[in-house]
Amino acid sequence: MDADGELVARVRAGDEQAFVTLAARHHSTMQRIARSYVGSDAVAEEVVQDTWLAVLRGLAGFAGRSSFQTWLLAILVNRARSTGVREHRSVAIGDAGPAVDAARFDAAGAWMSPPRHWVEESDSRLLAEGAAERIQSTLRELPERQREVLMLRDVADLSAREVCEALEISEANQRVLLHRGRSRLRTALEAELGRA
């Protein structure tokens, strides 16, 4: 079940250490999500701290209908979104392009320019670092909704249902956004790591 539940109960009871443990557990995910909306690490830290303060203030009203993490990240996304908008970093919503450039298939729809190999390369520590940076920068360039779904599904590891809950979108929408976002990331990784 919810691994945060016990910590949350202790936080409510006044246990400061439990709060720091809880914050630490979610910190890097929250920082990554926030950073994908705003222009600097420092602003992202502020967004994370604001979120925790809002969470503490709202804790008495948290009914536990969703998991604590889903609730937490829904608050974070809202705050990061509005901060990002204030910073004028909001991105175009469009992008209905195909998963792979149509020019890479022949008229019958078969690969003409097949995927270049890179999966093995991503195991190398050095290249994996480049890959991580590429993922971060690609995430920042993604249309907002795709980024949100990607962050919650693949970085924060929420289930499809939890993502729908946190972002208030349908399962079909979630899947389309996930598909476009992941496809864009794969293309970016192919460009970063691929060999002919």
Partner 1 sequence: MLRLKRELVCREIVELITAYLEDTLPRRQRRRFEAHLAGCEHCSEYLEQMRATIRLTGSLRAEDLTPRMSAEFGALYRRWREEEEEGGEEEEG
Q: Does 85 bind partner 1 (CB under 8 A)?
A: no
**Cβ proximity to partner 1, 27 vs 89, nearer residue:** 27
Among 78, 81, 100, 173, binds partner 1 (CB under 8 A): 100
Residue choice 122, 140, 169, 173 for contact with partner 1 (CB under 8 A): 122
Residues belonging to the chain? 196
Footprint of partner 1 on residues 13-42 (CB under 8 A)? 14, 16, 19-20, 23-24, 27-29, 31-32
Q: Give me the amino acid identity at 6.
A: E
Compute the least distance from the CB of residue 16 to partner 1, in Å: 5
Please calculate the CA angle 61-55-132 and round it to the nearest 5 degrees.
Answer: 140
Q: Decide if residue 140 touches partner 1 (CB under 8 A).
A: no
User: Token pair for residue 111?
Assistant: 């690969």
Residues 6+ apart with CB under 8 A from 176: none
- Taking the complex as a whole, the smallest distance from the CB of residue 5 to partner 1 amounts, in Å, to 18
d(CA 163, CA 104): 32
- In angstroms, give the least distance from the CB of 163 to partner 1: 11
Tell me if 153 sits within 8 A of 169, measured CB to CB: no
What is the C-alpha separation between 177 and 195, in angstroms, rounded? 28
CB 153 within 8 Å of CB 178: yes
Q: What is the DSSP letter of 152?
A: I
Q: CB of residue 81 vs partner 1: minimum separation in angstroms? A: 20
Rg (CA), the chain: 19
For partner 1, the binding residue among 85, 98, 141, 191 (CB under 8 A) is 98
61 near partner 1, judged by CB under 8 A: no
**Contact with partner 1 (CB under 8 A) among 3, 85, 132, 191:** 132
Q: What angle do CA 158, 134, 43 make, to 5 degrees?
A: 70
Interacting residue ranges for partner 1, rule: CB under 8 A: 11, 14, 16, 19-20, 23-24, 27-29, 31-32, 45, 49, 52-53, 56-57, 98-100, 102, 105, 108-111, 114-115, 117-119, 122, 128, 131-132, 135-136, 150, 154-155, 157, 160, 175, 178-179, 182-183, 185-186, 189-190
